[in-house]
């Protein structure tokens, strides 16, 4: 065989070997994903400029403090609010923005690189994206009584408010906040909350009315280019406490359980808390919720469960120390109990533990398994090894 004929054969053999190696590598990464810890690589890439100590914590920095404080992780920093105002920090404590303002009932909601701060029952609302404040409701619509505000990962905003002449109003803004995409006003029933789908094509509006002397809740699904709902689903006679709109599912939290609603109007899934009492919940996980439960109406939570979109319990754990906070993001669930932060995957497989949380009382998880912690004076990040 001539030398010229051997070269194509060798090249084909090398190509086949390379293809086989790539396929084998991909298979190994899928099978041993947790062992190789791809999220650790993502954390290194995202936070490689942050210096951590032996425990994996970044140097804490002081925050503005105040009563009813809350904190949320954004892709570019940490958003905080209290009755004293709102602040936006970098992960090392550089102050991107601040607004000292009296907020009676401050709430922070965040998704991706966008966060919103609003005052329940007041007229204040600010949206932060990147490293700056990009929208303020008072500048375009003063005097509105804000009930709820939620952003999705694309930065679209659903504002639920009380406006003159109506029992409820929902306004949807795109991520430029320059105009209203759709405005839904109802006169016959109260609107209590709303959320936008991840693809920005649908808004879910939760209403509360009366029938036979008792409250009746519904969720109405609207296309953002239509003023009439394409599906209406009855939710029973409880007041909804929280919402989350994921791909193909609207999660609704009640005092007695969780309902996962099919946006097409199909059958809903239910998860009941039984005889336990709700102490807190996070709907931020990808396809699961993290719920804090207690045996008694008074007192702290001692049990944490994770629930999937089918209403099935994925995992459960009882804690000897009182559970202070939980949060879910990506495939991770974080539990702050006593002086320990425990991070699990959604089925409660242990992932990482931080033993000394420096009296932290606030927790916000990231999709890669990192955590934002805060106490009354300071805030910091924890990066699992």
Query: Over the stretch 198-249, which tens digit does the pLDDT of each residue have?
Result: 999 999 999 998 877 778 899 999 999 999 999 999 998 888 999 999 988 9
Burial class of 30 by CB neighbour count within 10 A (0 to 12, 13 to 18, 19+): exposed
- Inform me whether the pLDDT recorded for 30 exceeds 70: no
User: Is-contact 260 251, C-beta < 8 A?
Assistant: yes
How far apart are the C-alpha atoms of 152 and 284, rounded to whole Å? 11
Q: What is the pLDDT of residue 35?
A: 43
Q: What is the pLDDT of residue 116?
A: 98
Residue 23 binned pLDDT confidence (cut-offs 50, 70, 90):
low
Task: Express the helix, strand and coil content of the chain in percent, nearest 5 each.
Answer: 10, 50, 35
User: Is-contact 202 223, C-beta < 8 A?
Assistant: yes
Query: Over the stretch 45-60, which tens digit does the pLDDT of each residue have?
Result: 999 999 999 999 999 9
Count CB atoms within 10 A of the CB of residue 45.
Answer: 9
| Domain boundaries, given as residue ranges, for the chain | 38-67+273-385
- Inform me whether the pLDDT recorded for 71 exceeds 90: yes
Which residues are registered as beta bridge partners of 304? 292, 317
User: Is-contact 43 49, C-beta < 8 A?
Assistant: no
Neighbouring residues of 12: CB distance < 8 A, sequence distance ≥ 6: none
How far apart are the C-alpha atoms of 300 and 129, rounded to whole Å? 35
Closest Cα partner for 350 from 342, 339, 362? 342
How far apart are the C-alpha atoms of 4 and 9, rounded to whole Å? 10
Q: What is the pLDDT of residue 212?
A: 72
Note the pTM of the prediction, 2 decimals: 0.88
Tell me how far CA of residue 263 lies from CA of 30, 55, 58, 229, 230, in angstroms.
31, 44, 41, 11, 9
Q: Tell which CATH architecture fits domain 38-67+273-385.
A: 7 Propeller (2.130)
* Torsion angle of the four alpha carbons 230, 236, 242, 248, in this order, in degrees rounded to the nearest 10: -40
How far apart are the C-alpha atoms of 291 and 311, rounded to whole Å? 12
What is the residue whose two structure tokens read 């089925």? 347
User: Is-contact 260 272, C-beta < 8 A?
Assistant: no
């Amino acid at each position: 065989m001539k030398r010229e004929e051997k070269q194509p054969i060798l090249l084909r053999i090398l190509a086949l070997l390379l293809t086989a190696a790539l396929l084998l590598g991909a298979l190994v990464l899928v099978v041993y994903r947790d062992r190789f810890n791809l999220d650790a690589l993502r954390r290194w890439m995202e936070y490689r400029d942050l210096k951590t100590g032996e425990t994996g914590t970044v140097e804490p920095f002081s925050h503005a403090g105040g009563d009813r404080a809350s904190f949320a992780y954004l892709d570019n920093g940490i958003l905080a609010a209290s009755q004293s105002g709102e602040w936006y920090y970098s992960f090392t404590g550089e102050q991107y923005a601040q607004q000292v303002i009296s907020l009676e009932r401050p709430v922070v909601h965040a998704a991706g690189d966008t966060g919103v701060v609003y005052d329940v029952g007041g007229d204040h609302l600010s949206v932060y994206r990147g490293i700056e404040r990009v929208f303020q409701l008072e500048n375009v619509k003063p005097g509105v009584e804000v009930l709820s505000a939620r952003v999705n990962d694309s930065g679209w905003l659903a504002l639920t408010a009380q406006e003159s002449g109506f029992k409820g109003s929902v306004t949807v803004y795109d991520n430029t906040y320059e105009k209203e995409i759709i405005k839904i006003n109802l006169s016959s029933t109260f609107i209590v909350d709303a959320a936008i789908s991840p693809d920005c094509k649908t808004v879910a509006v939760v209403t509360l009315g009366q029938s036979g002397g008792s409250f009746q809740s519904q969720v109405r699904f609207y296309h953002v280019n239509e003023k009439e709902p394409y599906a209406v689903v009855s939710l029973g006679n409880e007041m909804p406490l929280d919402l989350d709109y994921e791909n193909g599912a609207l999660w609704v939290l009640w005092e007695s359980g969780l309902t996962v609603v099919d946006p097409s109007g199909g059958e809903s899934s239910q998860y009941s808390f039984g005889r336990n009492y709700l102490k807190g919940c996070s709907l931020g996980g990808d396809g699961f919720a993290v719920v804090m439960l207690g045996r008694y109406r008074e007192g702290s939570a001692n049990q944490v469960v994770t629930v999937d979109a089918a209403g099935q319990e994925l995992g459960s754990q009882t804690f000897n120390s009182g559970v202070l906070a939980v949060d879910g993001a990506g495939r991770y669930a974080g539990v702050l109990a006593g002086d320990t932060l425990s991070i699990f995957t959604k089925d409660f497989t242990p992932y990482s533990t931080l033993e000394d949380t420096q009296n932290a009382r606030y927790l916000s998880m990231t999709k890669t398994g990192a955590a934002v912690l805060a106490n009354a004076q300071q805030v910091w990040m924890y990066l699992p090894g």
